[in-house]
Structure 1
């Protein structure tokens, strides 16, 4: 290892020194590399095992590595869903003394997948629309925080399953900028147009490789992010006027925002001179309403939709057992110990890496509901759990560790095939 190696990190993991920084990233040995799916990137990215977890290592310039590291740290302080920056490594050199590119090291987001790895054979329209909806929510959150992305795309995003939907996380922030005074409408529209064009191009690329359903229209799906974004932006930031005798609409607006998963930290309320009209406008809107309530009551950290589903089951438990009038924190503790934890502990060890615990519990509740509908009876949770494990969970691929998808082209004895074709053939085999 070169004596000039420099590591910049908030908390340095000594194991970073054990990685082969004297080798070009493409030459790292297989025993160092972790087999995980990765998206398309303009830079070389490899995953590596480090101290019991996985990191993503991206070769880039020193300036860009440091800039992105600082940006990701700033976004974390703003509670924006993004990858965790670990370190910037500069001063790399081969044993011969030849310089090597600097790298940015980020922590891999467990149970997250790039969009290309989220479908088995072909991308269906409803899945594509859910991905776009998740990206729209992320983009709104970024814009509210004053962040101009500059390269919005599915490829620069990671997705985690979230109770039938997806939660989006920013991966690539190298083109982004934070503005203290917020973004202008022109900057927001620019980001939105970049998103629309990039998503259309990404889906057309999949379409050309035969990887999308025949009914999927790339243009229609990409236009969907514009509609989803504008609808959510208006709901979160738009003003609303009504008669002074309709004050109940203030609570209705707050409840509507809560149902979308957002909290209001400040609400501006104004009346006109005659006192007949009231105008309200949210000042600061923060995502994660259900996440925070679940974390406060149970200590469980889950996605927003997962949290909403778990809270619904908690409320159902309280009502079924006549505990609705008791202290909700006490009831929540009882629900965790008597319902949630026994379910998770019952999952066989070899299946625990299939999904996050909260997602497993959500899918179990869904499975139980379908069983009850089909059999026209109330299915006990234990019976539903056995059925879910054997008929659903065992047949899912492991989303904690998935073999990396192929990229580029591959040369065979008789022809050169595209990576998409090779990936399809690989999925057929497994």
Structure 2
């Protein structure tokens, strides 16, 4: 390779040097390319193999690549759900010495998919609503830390399953700006309007291609992000006044925030001179309440709703076996060893790329409940595991990564997420 290749990376991976940086990204051979579904991007983006993992490579300008790289690193430090930046590769030249576009390298988020790959034949309104709700939660989290996105859309987001809902991750931070003093109401409303317009356009595009159910209304779905965002924003940041005789409402407010998956670092409480009115307002709100509790008790790292579901099962185990008065961490260790880990170990090796362990456990609990409803009595866990593996999991698509066949027009089995219990898998023609 001619010239002096520049690689900026916090954790240098020597394997980066093995990629053909002296060729335009569009010319890379299938030897390097990983076949994964991807969203729409204004820049050329391709997936490649790197040290046994998959990375996304985007050709852009050097200024934009370095700016986005630093922004993603900052967002990760702030624990915002986003893709992991790997490197910026600049000063690329071809064999003739001509300059090639710099590239931003990010880690592919395992078990995630762009919104267009989250359906097989038609996108149902319920699924579209869940995607928009997940995006609303992400946007609120970004605005709380003072991040103005500037290009909010489904295309710039990746989605992972989260116990019947979805968790949204920021993919493209190219237009984002972080303000230390927080965002004004005008900036937040601008981002929200960008989101509403972009989502409507994306859903209309799917509608024009016959990819949505007849009853799906793109305008109604896109307007939904406004309501979802404002409701959550008010709950997280709004002040509340009540009589001093109703001080129990302080705990009620904290419980509501915890139920939404948020912790409060500080709560401002003020009373009037007469002491008749109490005014409370959350000062600092962090997401991941259930995630942190599960991680503390078991060491398991899961999405928020998954963590909530696992904790519910843990609490149920504790109550069922009369262990509620015992040390919580000891009971959690016992539950993990006797319930969670045996379920994970029971999954055949060839099926472990289907879903994350936490999502498998959540779906197993759902499946066991359905079996019990149909049978009219409780179903042993071992029996439910066997039924779930053979009747459900074995027929799902692999959501960890899809490496073969090579990039091009190919057939990928995409399961119908709206009702995986009853609807069959289908083949979907996907061009990447």
Relative to the length of structure 1, the TM-score reads 0.94
Residue 427 (structure 1) aligns with: 428
CA drift of 1:98 comes to 1.0
- 1:55–1:303: structure 2 CA closer, same or farther, 3 Å change rule? same
Which structure 2 segments of 5+ residues have no match? Answer: 411-424
Alignment of 1:104-253 (within 5 A): 104-253=104-253
Higher relative contact order (CA 8 A, sep 6+): 2
How far apart in 1 are the matches of 2:426 and 2:93? 39
DSSP 3-state at the match of 1:48 = strand
SS at match of 2:188: helix
Provide the C-alpha distance between the structure 1 equivalents of 2:404 and 2:118, rounded to a whole number of angstroms.
Answer: 12
Tell me the alpha carbon deviations over residues 322-375 of structure 1, each in whole angstroms, 9 at most, x when there is no partner.
Answer: 111100101111111111111001101111000000000000000000000111
Determine the structure 2 residue equivalent to 1:66: 66
SS of residue paired to 2:428: helix
CA apart distance, 1:407: 11
Superposition CA RMSD, Å = 1.9
Distance 1:237 1:407, change over 3 A: farther
SS of match in other structure, 2:32: coil
Offset, 1:16: 0.4
Counterpart position of 2:370: 370
2:72–2:173 contact (8 Å) kept in structure 1: yes
TM-fit CA distance, 1:408: 11
**Following TM superposition, by how much is the alpha carbon of 1:401 offset from its aligned partner in structure 2, in angstroms?**
2.1
Question: Distance in 2 between the 1:124 and 1:336 partners?
Answer: 36
Matched residue of 1:397: which SS? Answer: coil
- The equivalent of 1:34 in structure 2 is 34
**Structure 2 CA distance, aligned partners of 1:186 and 1:407?**
42
User: Matched residue of 1:334: which SS?
Assistant: helix
Kindly provide the CA deviation profile for residues 291-321 of structure 1, in whole angstroms up to 9, marking residues without a partner as x.
0000000000000000000000001111111
Question: When the two structures are aligned, how many residues end up with a matched partner?
Answer: 416
8 A Cα contact 1:37 1:404, kept in partner: no
Residues in 2 aligned to 1:8 and 1:341: alpha-carbon distance in whole angstroms: 40
Segments ≥4 residues shifted beyond 6 Å: 403-410
Superimposed CA distance per residue, residues 217-250 of structure 1 (whole angstroms, 9 cap, x where no aligned partner): 0000000000000000000000000000100000
Change (3 A) 1:34 1:43: same
TM normalised by structure 2 equals 0.94
Q: Is the 8 A contact 1:117 1:405 kept in 2?
A: no
Match of 1:20 in 2: 20
CA distance in 2 between counterparts of 1:309 and 1:220 reads: 30
**Displacement of 1:3 after TM fit?**
3.5
8 Å CA contact 2:34, 2:48 repeated in 1: yes
Following superposition, the deviation at residue 52 of structure 1 comes to 1.1
Whether the 8 Å contact between 1:73 and 1:85 is mirrored in structure 2 is: yes
How far did residue 405 of structure 1 move?
A: 12
- Matched residue SS, 1:36: coil
The superposition leaves residues 114-166 of structure 1 with CA deviations (integer Å, 9 ceiling, x where unpaired) of: 00001111100000000000000000000000000000000000000000000
What residue in structure 2 maps to residue 388 of structure 1?
A: 388
What is residue 301 of structure 1 aligned with on the other side?
A: 301
Where structure 1 has 5 or more consecutive residues not aligned to the other structure, the ranges are 411-423
Q: Give the 3-state SS of the residue equivalent to 2:251 in structure 1.
A: helix
Distance 1:377 1:275 in 2: 55
1:326 aligns with 2:326: yes
Residue in structure 2 matched with residue 420 of structure 1 by the alignment: none
Contact conserved, 2:34 with 2:406, CA < 8 A, in 1?
A: no
The CA distance in 2 between the partners of 1:193 and 1:146, in whole Å, is 17
Partner SS, residue 245 of structure 1: helix
